[in-house]
């Protein structure tokens, strides 16, 4: 059974701080990882994906991947109250970048003004 | 460009009744997914279509759930008869061939009473 583990939170950070969201996965063959953001009552929206070991930056967001440790993280710099949402980690099992996505349960982030 | 459109947005039915959900994917997206999301959980795949072919329906409870994607565009997901445990948000997503990102519709929130 391919699994994704996330701390459900809630993770509470003050406005302007760095929020760190973590995810571990069980499938060593996985090659790509996705971070989705889901506001309460809304559908998930993709914010980043990463294929290679190391860091990938997009604005205030940085995804970090360590395949040896089967660990992927999302850093949000200068956190804003509008970042308050549930962040879902996902990956397509068996490698590749397409196909099905297995989602974690999500980490609920709360950014306090 | 219009996003993934789902209807209805909300549905309340009594147990043992049938229910159907409809999804119109983004134009040109050949891959269509149906996911189910329970409260506090990540989305779980029910079925994936590549054009009109169901390529992965291993998680679809076939005794009561059925889906179709005639002509490889719109899709319907049906539950008959519904059970209390089917209460969840049913999400449809679509993806264009060759691209990693899947786009989600707003979902249908089903309540079985």
With 80 as the cut, is the pLDDT of residue B42 above it? yes
Q: What is the spatial distance between Cα A30 and Cα B17, in angstroms, rounded to a whole number?
A: 40
Q: Which residues neighbour A49 within 8 Å (Cβ) at sequence distance 6 or greater?
A: A32, A33, A34, A35, A63, A97, B100, B101
Which of the four pLDDT bands, split at 50, 70 and 90, describes residue B97? confident
How much is the average pLDDT of B4-21? 97
With 90 as the cut, is the pLDDT of residue B23 above it? yes
**Which residue in B20, B9, B11, B6 sits closest to B94, CA to CA?**
B6
Is residue A96 within 8 A of residue A31, CB to CB? The reply is yes
Q: Evaluate the omega torsion of the peptide bond into residue B32 and state whether it is cis, within 30 degrees of 0.
A: no
So what's the pLDDT on residue A8? 81
So what's the pLDDT on residue A29? 78
Contacts of A103 in chain B (CB under 8 A): 42-44
pLDDT 10s digits, A54-103: 999 999 999 999 988 889 999 999 999 999 999 999 988 766 556 688 89
Nearest by CB to A98, which of B42, B100, B107? B100
CB proximity A3 to B under 8 Å: no
CA B16 → CA A100, B22, B72, B74, B80, distances in Å?
A: 30, 20, 30, 26, 7
Residue to test with chain A: of B4, B34, B42, most A Cβ within 10 A: B42
Write out residues 9-48 of A within 8 Å (CB-CB) of B: 32, 34, 42-46
With 80 as the cut, is the pLDDT of residue B1 above it? no
pLDDT 10s digits, A29-43: 778 899 999 999 999
With 70 as the cut, is the pLDDT of residue A11 above it? yes
Instruction: Provide the mean pLDDT of chain B.
Output: 94
């Amino acid at each position: 059974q391919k699994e994704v583990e996330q701390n459900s939170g809630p993770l509470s950070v003050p406005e302007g701080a760095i929020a760190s969201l973590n995810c571990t996965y069980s499938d060593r063959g996985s090659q790509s990882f996705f971070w989705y953001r889901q506001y309460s009552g809304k559908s998930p929206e993709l914010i980043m994906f990463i294929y290679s070991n190391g860091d990938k930056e997009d604005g205030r967001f940085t995804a970090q991947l360590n395949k040896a440790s089967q660990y992927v993280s999302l850093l949000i710099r200068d956190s804003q109250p509008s970042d308050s949402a549930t962040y879902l980690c996902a990956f397509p099992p068996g490698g590749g970048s397409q196909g099905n996505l297995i989602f974690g349960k999500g980490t609920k982030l709360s950014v306090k003004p | 460009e219009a996003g993934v459109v789902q209807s209805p947005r909300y549905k309340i039915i009594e147990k043992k009744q049938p229910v159907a959900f409809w999804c119109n994917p983004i134009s040109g997206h050949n891959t269509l997914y149906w996911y189910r999301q329970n409260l506090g959980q990540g989305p779980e795949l029910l079925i994936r279509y590549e054009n009109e072919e169901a390529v992965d329906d291993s998680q679809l409870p076939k005794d009561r759930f059925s889906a179709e994607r005639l002509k490889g565009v719109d899709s319907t997901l049906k539950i008959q008869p519904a059970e209390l445990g089917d209460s969840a948000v049913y999400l449809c997503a679509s993806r264009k061939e060759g691209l990693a990102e899947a786009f989600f519709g707003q979902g249908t929130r089903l309540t079985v009473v």
